[in-house]
Amino acid sequence: MPLFLLPLLPLVGFALLILFPRLFPGKSGGWLASGTVLASFVIAVTRFLGQGDEPAREILWTWLPGMALNANLSVGFWYDQLSALMALIITGVGFLIHLYSVSYMGHDRQFTRFFAFLNFFVAMMLVLVLADSYPLMFVGWEGVGVASYLLIGFWFSGRNSEASDRDIREASDREGVANSNAARKAFIMNRIGDLGFMLGMFLLYRLYGTLVIPELAERVDGAQVAAAGVELACLFLLVGAVGKSGQLPLTTWLPDAMAGPTPVSALIHAATMVTAGVYLIARSHFLYDLAPGASTWVAWVGALTALYGALSALNQHDIKKILAYSTVSQLGYMFLAVGVGAYSAGVFHLLTHAFFKALLFLSAGAVIHALHEEQDVRRMGGLRRFMPFTHLTALMGVLAIAGIPVWSGFFSKDAILAAAFAASPLLYVVGLGVAFLTAYYMGRWYFLVWRGEYRGSVAHPHEADGLMKVPLGILAALATLAGFLNVPTFLGGGHAFDDYLGRAIPVHGHEIPISTEWLLTLLAVAAGVGGLLWAAAEHRRRALATGPLGAASANALYLDRVYDGLVAAPSRALAAGLDVVDRGLDGALSGVARNSAAPGGLFSRWQSGFVRTYAVSMLLGTALLLGYWALRTIGGGA
């Protein structure tokens, strides 16, 4: 089946839902949206099963003049192992989250619109990962940015804007303003990243004369290009990736993005969109292989972000914020992996993270639902009694993210840590520390929400309904078992995932003695178990509500405030100054405008309606033309 169907089906769903919302009463819009994504998933599976070793390229139509090698750039899709995998993740996890949303968003007034946006997002994300050229990838890149903006600000007027009670309405208004600001923040910070992406594209085109990815991959080897140029292009692309993936320094939008509905956080801000930066770097591996300097930057950006996210997650109180900072931190892991050249490890972590983080978010959503929009973990606790199924699935997620053996996170994190060890001991130490912190804050999340006694105000929290349980169950199974796709050699595994992806992206094997690998694995397991035990001990002392680092962590290391001081305050001052100038200019300009509007009135008066005046102006015009020429000729000829 042709590749264009993959993004086309959700796009058709989007068009139907946004243009004819009235055709879809009740929940039928949600079912339609889920159906299109399911159809895309089926196509992705059939394509995956029929996939050969050779990548496929399917060209649709000619698009931009000149931007390919001696040809016009065409809109085309590129299907290799990497894009196959991404398409499977996007449609598979996407479908589960659509399904979950049918129940989760069931009472929302804008139910159909929500699914229209979700479908739009899936379509754009598929364009992003299937694109055969950077410009087309940029189309998807911008598209998911728009979808993200729309969905973060989905409750732009608050959830109770039409409530009869005045206090509720005012609170809802405040919430609406906060949501809108979060959406704008995400959009604007992404713009900075997009600028980097664009500059990277310009530079690549300047260096190689093409923006088609397979053509570039062939050309970079033989081309005589200044190394500094490639380094710079890779750094520009890194800026783009950093913006989209919420890495340092453009990270602060991602925690705020939790203002969107929880399925959005699960799909866009955990499983798929934010991993686009990792995908971009893995896709551009042939460039980064030539740019060791830029790769080191990638690795360090990732390591520092992982640390930053973990430290910020330690003392959060919002059930989703903890997960959000954890996402920031896990994305840092992926950047670390692709930065040290372990593309396969990075993408594998992307896969497992998509499962367990989506699972955790959806579990959090079920909790929020059960507690009537309560999000503060200090007012939860003991929910394991009320929601046994969700508790079980959430536990699977926690074990996976903490890196406990046989759960998927163990295998993927271990691969990254081994690669980091082979590259630089310092990176490894940071990575190991983050693993320890991760286990702790996820343990804290688990104990605060599920264990201990119930501290909430809702009398009888209810278990998620059947429709929400299905995705939870499937994701829990995947989060538990996906690790066996890539069991490393020293554990007697077949590392099937590395082999598969290796056909598209080179796997740089690292030379570590088996004994060392065992040691590294034991250390990683010790970090995970240790972190969980620490959390359990604190839980026993009932001291979990306040995490370590106190206010510094709760305020996300004050990064927002730093940006406010460094960027926002000066630009506000600048804006105030410009405002004064503007008002002055405005007065002057409106004076000018009043005077220049006069000709418009004059022209209308000239339009008297009398034929004779019209004829006179025609003849006068002719005479003027001839007179002008006569003057020019006399002047020039004399």
Partner 1 sequence: MLTPPDVALAPLLPILLVLAGAVSSTVLGFHLPRRTLTAINLVLLLLSAAAMALLWSGPGELPATAFGGSLRADNAAVLLGLTIVAGSMMALLVSLDTAYRARLSFPEFDAMLMYAVTGTLLIAFSGDLIVMLIGLEVMSLASYVLATLQDSRRAEESGLKYFLLGSVGSAVLIYGLALVYGATGSLSYGGIAAATAGLTPGNLGLLVGGALLLLAGFGFKVALAPFHQWTPDVYSGAPTTVSLFLSTVVKVAAFAGMLRVFGGALQNAPFWASALQLLIAATLIVGNAASLFQTNFKRMLAYSAVAHTGFLAMALLGTPGLGGAALGYYLLVYTLMTGAALAIVAALQRTEAGMNISDLRGLYHRHPGYAVALAACLASLAGLPPFAGFFGKYLAFQAAFQNGYVWLSILAVLASVAALVYYLRPAMLLFMPDRTPAREYPHGQRPATNLTVALGVAAITVLGLLPNLWYGWLADPAIWELLAGR
CB closer to partner 1 out of 131 and 367: 131
Binding of partner 1 by 621 (CB under 8 A): yes
Q: Tokens in use for 92?
A: 């598979």
Q: Would you say 398 and 442 are in contact if contact means Cβ atoms under 8 Å apart?
A: yes
Here's the x/- map for partner 1, 297-336, by CB under 8 A: it reads as: ----------------------------------------
CB closer to partner 1 out of 514 and 616: 616
Give the bridge partners for 212, in sequence order. 133
Binding of partner 1 by 110 (CB under 8 A): no
Q: Tokens in use for 520?
A: 């590294």
Size of the site for partner 1 (CB under 8 A): 27
CB closer to partner 1 out of 61 and 457: 61
Binding of partner 1 by 590 (CB under 8 A): no
With CB under 8 A as the contact rule, which of the stretches 147-155, 341-349, 513-521, 617-625 interacts with partner 1? 617-625
CA atoms within 13 A on the CB side of 74: 14
Binding of partner 1 by 50 (CB under 8 A): no
Query: Of 607, 631, 635, 638, which lies in the binding site for partner 1, with binding defined by CB under 8 A?
Result: 607
d(Cα 47, Cα 49) in Å, to the nearest integer? Answer: 5
Here's the x/- map for partner 1, 117-136, by CB under 8 A: it reads as: --------------------
CB closer to partner 1 out of 50 and 636: 636
CB closer to partner 1 out of 188 and 619: 619
In whole angstroms, the minimum distance from the beta carbon of 43 to partner 1 comes to 25
CB closer to partner 1 out of 519 and 625: 625
Query: Of 537, 567, 588, 615, which lies in the binding site for partner 1, with binding defined by CB under 8 A?
Result: 615
With CB under 8 A as the contact rule, which of the stretches 214-222, 352-360, 439-447, 620-628 interacts with partner 1? 620-628
In whole angstroms, the minimum distance from the beta carbon of 124 to partner 1 comes to 16
CB closer to partner 1 out of 224 and 604: 604
Long-range CB pairs of 411-414 (<8 Å, 24+ gap) are 411/348, 411/352, 411/483, 411/484, 411/486, 411/487, 411/488, 412/345, 412/348, 412/349, 412/351, 412/352, 412/353, 412/483, 412/486, 413/333, 413/349, 413/524, 414/488, 414/520, 414/521, 414/524
Query: Of 202, 518, 558, 614, which lies in the binding site for partner 1, with binding defined by CB under 8 A?
Result: 614
What DSSP designation does 318 have?
B
User: How many residues are given for the chain?
Assistant: 638
CB closer to partner 1 out of 578 and 615: 615
- Find the angle CA(387)-CA(389)-CA(390) to the nearest 5 degrees: 70
Q: Tokens in use for 345?
A: 């490890």
CB closer to partner 1 out of 577 and 627: 627
In whole angstroms, the minimum distance from the beta carbon of 145 to partner 1 comes to 18
Closest CA to 335 of 274, 403, 287, 422: 274
Binding of partner 1 by 629 (CB under 8 A): yes
Residue 185 neighbours by CB under 8 Å, 6+ apart: 252, 253, 256
Q: Tokens in use for 162?
A: 């039409």
Torsion of CA 513, 519, 520, 525, to 10 degrees: 150
Q: Tokens in use for 482?
A: 């996906």
Binding of partner 1 by 618 (CB under 8 A): yes
d(Cα 174, Cα 220) in Å, to the nearest integer? Answer: 52
Binding of partner 1 by 601 (CB under 8 A): yes
Place of tokens 């380094």: 231
Per 3-state DSSP, the chain is made up of helix, strand and coil in percentages (nearest 5) of: 75, 5, 20
Cα–Cα distances in angstroms (integers) from residue 43 to residues 61, 88, 128, 130, in the given order: 22, 9, 17, 14
Q: Tokens in use for 294?
A: 């830029």
Query: Of 600, 634, 635, 638, which lies in the binding site for partner 1, with binding defined by CB under 8 A?
Result: 600
User: 3-class SS at 212?
Assistant: strand
CB closer to partner 1 out of 496 and 623: 623
With CB under 8 A as the contact rule, which of the stretches 198-206, 227-235, 537-545, 592-600 interacts with partner 1? 592-600
In whole angstroms, the minimum distance from the beta carbon of 21 to partner 1 comes to 12
With CB under 8 A as the contact rule, which of the stretches 209-217, 269-277, 465-473, 603-611 interacts with partner 1? 603-611
CB closer to partner 1 out of 466 and 601: 601
The enclosing H or E element of 278 equals helix 276-283
Binding of partner 1 by 617 (CB under 8 A): yes
Residue 95 neighbours by CB under 8 Å, 6+ apart: 34, 37, 38, 41
Strand 56-68, strand 71-79: pairing: antiparallel
The crossing angle, in degrees rounded to 10, of helices 166-208 and 227-245 is: 170
Residues 334-373 that bind partner 1 (CB under 8 A): none
Query: Of 457, 515, 595, 604, which lies in the binding site for partner 1, with binding defined by CB under 8 A?
Result: 604
In whole angstroms, the minimum distance from the beta carbon of 286 to partner 1 comes to 31
Here's the x/- map for partner 1, 52-91, by CB under 8 A: it reads as: ---------xx-----------------------------
Q: Which residues bind partner 1 (CB under 8 A)?
A: 61-62, 597, 599-601, 603-604, 606-607, 609, 611, 613-615, 617-622, 625-626, 628-629, 632-633
